[in-house]
Structure 1
Amino acid sequence: MANRSVFASLRGRFAPQADTRNAAGAAAYDLTATHKLAQLAMTGTFGSGYYRDAQAQASTLIELARTIAPEFLARAAIHIREKGHMKDTPALLLAVLSGRDPVLFARTFPRVVTSGRMLRTFVQIMRSGQTGRKSLGSRPKAMVQDWLNRASDQQLLAASIEQAPSLADVIRMVHPRPGNAQREAFYAWLIDRPADVSALPSVVQDLLAFRAGMSERVPAVPFQLLGSLQLSPEQWGEVARMASWQTLRQGLNMLARNGAFGEPAVVTHVAAVLRDPERIRAAKALPYQLLATLRALDPSVSPVLRDALHDAMECAVANVPRFGGRVVVCPDVSASMLSPVTGYRGSATTTVQCIDVAALVAAAIKRSNPKACILPFERCVRAITLEARDTILTNARRLAELGGGGTDCAAPLAWLNARHEMADLIVFVSDNQSCGPAHAKGTPTGMMREWTKLKARNPAARLVCIDIQPYGTVQAAERDDVLNIGGFSDAVFGQMAEFASGRMEATHWVGQIMAQPL
């Protein structure tokens, strides 16, 4: 008989060979430069992660941004800002672009710098020297001046709250030329120079009158500008009535401490704002932000407002599609997923962990696809039963409680193969840092071995791998039946739907970014 080790079944032999190692030291697949930049920018927050510190993230992203085509750099910055709702990484890509293609930079700037916070972040990155120079340069300076002159009074007031750099620092740096007496007085007031009060915008005059005790009417300004004043509970109620959706989400505990919700009418109004679909969309609310708010919510806050936040969560993931066929969702619940989703950032570190985001995605898909199979995994598949009718947060909490152990991204596929299960769409949510069982570089990863076996039974099956950490390697090689995407915004749901329906093929995620209009 012929040598069985030589002529064994070819099943699993056609999986592509691993060409790199991941942060855990295991075999993995590298990404193209454009895909890696997109993945790092869509998940990077410049906070230290489980395997990589913040400086390494920034250095890797800058190095990549200097090597790829400026046009892709511009499209990626816009996509990551508008679809991924990221703040720091689009500003970094824009800063690199300013030195590579000034004309393309000028076209991209207004799409990325859409708020005072983004403006200050861009200036901070430019002056840090990380991207090659410590001054703005003529074109970036002109774009910053233009943003300041075009900004509304409310935008400038909102931008004046935070520091490092402050809005006053930015104004002193670029010397914008005001187009009228009102804006000239406003700039002077913002940088603490003598200003004609009568020429100031009405909202600033209202603030000054209120601070001086000349008016009892609460001005329509960010509450941070009122923090040093002694406001009555009724006045704090007025602050709550005028606040934006994001301000309310972030400030519920503070407002409750100050008695803002003493009047039932205020509670009713705020609850209506929090669950308003239009306001939620306009605020670009990320599901994990709502999870963070609910976790931090003080017991004294009205249950009506807590219920409104739950409704807001349901709305934030309302675009989760219904998929045809058998759906399997595999959230990674290993130890590395217990790190903060936006990294360790000192006192600003979020309480939301990577495992929470994975659990949120799984619970959201379960809500829209009640028959979906949920296979949480670490080194093995963990048993759990979820009810589709439970709230998304309830199911997410149950999944997150499974956390711990090593990582084997092949485990759910091996579980399906051992049971000869059928599947049409399999969704992984992970940091992709599989650490076992070990396979040498130059051989397929365990995940691709198992995927090849599953495809032999399910030729039309598709695999979506959502990466939520900025490490730049994957366990499933990019090909027509495998989609690797990065991010933790609700944009991933739409991309999953495009891929599952066959409308998103070989170009995959990078192709979508390349299609982004400039």
Structure 2
Amino acid sequence: MANKSVFATIAGKLLPLAAAKNHEGARAYRLTPHQALAQLAATGTFNATFYAEPREQFDEVLKLAWQVEPEFLARTAVHAFEQGYMKDMPALLLAILSCMQGDEFNRAFGRIVRNGKMLRNFVQVMRSGATGRKSLGSRPKRLVQAWLEQAADFEIMRAAVGNDPSLADVIKMVHPKPKSASREALYGYLLGKPHDIAALPNVVKAFEAFKRDPSLPVPDVPFQMLTSMPLSREHWVQIAETAGWQMLRQNLNTFARNGVFEVEGFAEKLAARLRDPQEIRRARVFPYQLMVAFTMAGAEVPGEVRDALQDAMEIALGNVPRIKGNVVVCPDVSGSMSSPATGYRKGSTSAVRCIDVAALVAAAMLRRNPTAKVLPFENDVVDIRLNARDTVMTNAAKLAAIGGGGTNCSAPLARLVREKADVDLVVFVSDNQSWVDASAHAHQGTATMQEWRKLKALNPKAKLVCIDIQPYTTTQAEPEVDILNVGGFSDRVFDVIGTMLSSNADPDHWVRTIEAVEL
């Protein structure tokens, strides 16, 4: 018999060459610099992942940033912050931009550095020397000065929470010139230098007065500045009433421990805020953050508040598309997906695993598309029964409870081929580090592409979307007119899926989405 590796079929020859290797050493497709940077910007947190160390991610981003145009780099930074809800990545990309010629840095700065946290993140990256310089430089210094002068007093106080660098460090670095006696006194107060107490902003005066006399009303300062004080239940109620939406979500157990829910009518009041659509959108919450809040809420948190978190989840996932035709969702439940979604970080590793995010995406797609088929996979497809009428939280918990085994991205496609399934859209949620189905020959492509071609022969109009939730630069499915690789785990990926389905078959649709960002 003829050697099959030499005399490949015509279909095999038409497969794109899988010349790269993933972190398991298996055949894969390398993304272009624009595609890879877009992927890393949407998923990279510079923490250790199952396969990669933080330095690897950083080196890859730095290399890619100098391979794309400054305009694209700026748009990617803005997109990562505004649509991907990232923090460290936009700060790094902004710092790299500051070393480049052109006005892209100036145009992107105001879009990204919108609060004290991002200001300190940016200064930290610059001061670290990671991008090649340890000083801010004249352009960044001017923009940091402008931010300090334009920020409201409360924003300055909020920025004063945190270190490395502290806001006082930033002020010392850039030497802002205060335009009012009040701002001059505030800088002196933050630096621990002599200042005119009478000229201090009202928010600082109220804070200092409360420190002396806790019987006074709780001042409107960041929550973290108050927790070291001996607070009564009444104080905690005041804090909860004025807290931001994200702070409410994160501190439900703290409020319960301090008796907030014992106050008549307060649970209902807080629940109404948690399910308020405008507040949810304004908070820019990750759907998985709501899942964490729901699962971590203790028995002392009232049922109405827990129900409000489920309502908030439904609202946060309101942009999950309803898709005409037959949908298949394939969440990766292999062993590598048990790693934290945002990577390992000493002292602050996320409780949410990659498998939780994959399960959440699958459950959300099923909720909006009740006839969808869900095929979780590891070494092979794992059979599971889900009820589309159950809440997103319930189905996500069922899927996330599977876990284990190797990664075989081609398994769901192979099953669909065997069943001669009628398919319009297949959505994968994975880290794309497939190895169980590894091919020894680059010209044969990956097993995923082999099975996809077979499925396409049965369903010529079918499309494939691969959502990558880890910061790697290879994929199992080469971008083509009917294949979209998209990175990230915010609800924005659903927008991209929806527009991709109605687009004119652009294999670089994810890159085009970033290029469409207005600067």
Q: Secondary structure at the match of 1:256?
A: helix
1:504–1:80: structure 2 CA closer, same or farther, 3 Å change rule?
farther
1:264 partner SS: coil
* Cα deviations by residue, 1:169-218 (Å, 9 ceiling, x for unpaired): 11111111111111111111122222222212212211111111175111
Moved more, 443-452 or 299-308: 299-308
Native 8 Å contact 2:482 2:505 kept in 1: no
Q: 1:74, CA displacement in angstroms?
A: 0.5
Q: Which moved more, 1:308-317 or 1:465-474?
A: 308-317
Deviations 1:345-365 (A, max 9, x none): 111001100000000000000
Cα deviation, 1:285-344, whole Å, max 9, x if unaligned, reads 001111222222222122221111111111111111100100000000000000000000
User: Counterpart of 2:371 in structure 1: which amino acid?
Assistant: K
Length, aligned pairs only: 517
- Alignment correspondent of 2:470: 469
The DSSP-based 3-state class of the residue aligned with 1:517 is coil
CA distance, structure 1, for counterparts of residue 310 and residue 155 of structure 2: 29
The Cα shift of 1:260 comes to 2.1
The Cα of 1:503 is off from its aligned counterpart by 4.9
Is 1:413 the counterpart of 2:413? The answer is yes
Structure 1 residues 392-407: aligned runs within 5 Å: 392-407=392-407
- Aligned partner of 1:73 in structure 2 is 73
Query: For residues 191-230 of structure 1, what are the structure 2 equivalents within 5 Å?
Result: 191-213=191-213, 216-230=216-230
Post-superposition shift, 1:67?
Answer: 2.2
Distance 1:482 1:511 in 2: 14
The answer to whether the 8 A contact 1:102-1:139 is kept is no
Residue 361 and residue 256 in structure 1: after superposition, are their counterparts in 2 closer, same or farther (change >3 A)? same
Would the alpha carbon gap of residues 64 and 9 (structure 1) be closer, same or farther in structure 2, given more than 3 Å must change?
closer
Q: How does 1:271-290 map to 2 (within 5 A)?
A: 271-290=271-290
> Which AA in structure 1 matches 2:285?
A
Give TM-score, length-normalised by structure 1: 0.97
2:487 matched to which residue of 1?
A: 486
The residue that corresponds to 1:378 in the other structure is: 378
Q: In the alignment, what sits opposite 1:118?
A: 118
1:515 correspondence with 2:499: no
Alpha-carbon distance in 2 for matches of 1:492, 1:246: 21
Identify the residue that residue 307 of structure 1 maps to in structure 2. 307
Aligned partner of residue 348 in structure 1, secondary structure: coil
- Name the residue aligned to 1:336: 336
State the distance in 1 between where 2:301 and 2:92 align: 38
The 3-state SS of whatever aligns with 1:390 is coil
- For the residue of structure 1 that corresponds to 2:262, the secondary structure is coil
Distance 2:477 2:82 in 1: 27
Q: Deviations over 1:119-143 (max 9, x none)?
A: 1111111111110011111111111
Q: Which residue of 2 aligns with 1:184?
A: 184
For 1:4-83, what aligned pairs fall within 5 Å after superposition? 10-83=10-83
Change (3 A) 1:301 1:214: closer
Distance 2:29 2:293 in 1: 36
Describe the shift of the 1:412–1:244 C-alpha distance in structure 2 as closer, same or farther (beyond 3 A): same
Q: Which amino acid aligns with 2:223?
A: F
Instruction: Give the RMSD, CA atoms, in angstroms.
Output: 1.6
Change (3 A) 1:171 1:12: same
Greater alpha carbon shift after TM alignment, 55-64 vs 238-247: 55-64
* Equivalent residues of 1:12, 1:453 under 8 A apart: no
Query: What is the TM-score of this pair, normalised by structure 2?
Result: 0.97
- What CA distance in whole angstroms lies between the structure 1 residues aligned with 2:101 and 2:120? 21
Q: Which amino acid aligns with 1:175?
A: H
In the TM superposition, residue 37 of structure 1 has moved relative to its aligned partner by 0.8
Question: What CA distance in whole angstroms lies between the structure 1 residues aligned with 2:264 and 2:319?
Answer: 32
Matches within 5 A, 1:495-510: 495-503=496-504, 505-510=506-511
Structure 1 residue 8: Cα displacement = 7.8
| Matched residue SS, 1:399 | helix
CA distance in 2, matches of 1:17, 1:3: 22
Q: How does 1:350-389 map to 2 (within 5 A)?
A: 350-389=350-389
CA displacement at 1:264 relative to structure 2: 2.4
Native 8 Å contact 1:210 1:217 kept in 2: yes
2:450 aligns with 449
Check the 8 A contact 1:466/1:484 in 2, yes or no: yes
Q: Is the 8 A contact 2:13 2:443 kept in 1?
A: no
Alignment of 1:131-210 (within 5 A): 131-210=131-210
Please show how residues 424-435 of structure 1 align to structure 2 within 5 Å. Answer: 424-435=424-435
Measured in 1, the distance between the counterparts of 2:504 and 2:212 equals 61
Q: Distance in 1 between matches of 2:2 and 2:37?
A: 46
Contact 1:429 1:465 survives alignment (8 Å): yes
Q: Against the structure 1 CA distance between its residues 412 and 217, is the aligned structure 2 distance closer, same or farther, given a 3 Å change threshold?
A: same
In 2: Cα distance, 1:4 partner to 1:221 partner = 74
Gaps of 5+ in 1: none
Q: Distance in 1 between matches of 2:227 and 2:197?
A: 22
- How far off its partner does 1:9 sit? 5.7
Deviation for aligned residue 1:502: 3.0
Does 144-153 or 354-363 show the bigger shift? 144-153
Q: Deviations over 1:82-137 (max 9, x none)?
A: 11111110110000010013522111100111111111111111111110011111
Residue 474 of structure 1: how far off its partner (Å)? 0.2
Q: Secondary structure at the match of 1:432?
A: coil
Aligned partner of 2:233 in structure 1 is 233
Question: C-alpha displacement at 1:17, in angstroms?
Answer: 1.6
Is the partner of 2:99 in helix, strand or coil?
helix
Confirm whether residue 346 of structure 1 aligns to residue 329 of structure 2: no
Q: Secondary structure in 1 aligned to 2:512?
A: helix
- Residue type of the alignment partner of 1:232: S
- Shift of residue 270 of structure 1? 1.2
The answer to whether the 8 A contact 1:333-1:402 is kept is: yes
Match of 2:106 in 1: 106
Counterpart contact for 2:15–2:443, Cα < 8 Å? no
Which residue is equivalent to 2:97?
A: 97
Q: Secondary structure at the match of 1:347?
A: coil
| Aligned-pair CA distance for 1:168 | 1.1
Whether the aligned pair in 2 keeps the contact of 1:427 and 1:466 (CA below 8 Å) is: yes
Q: Kindly tell me: are residues 208 and 215 of structure 1, through their superposed partners in 2, closer, same or farther at Cα, counting changes over 3 Å? A: farther
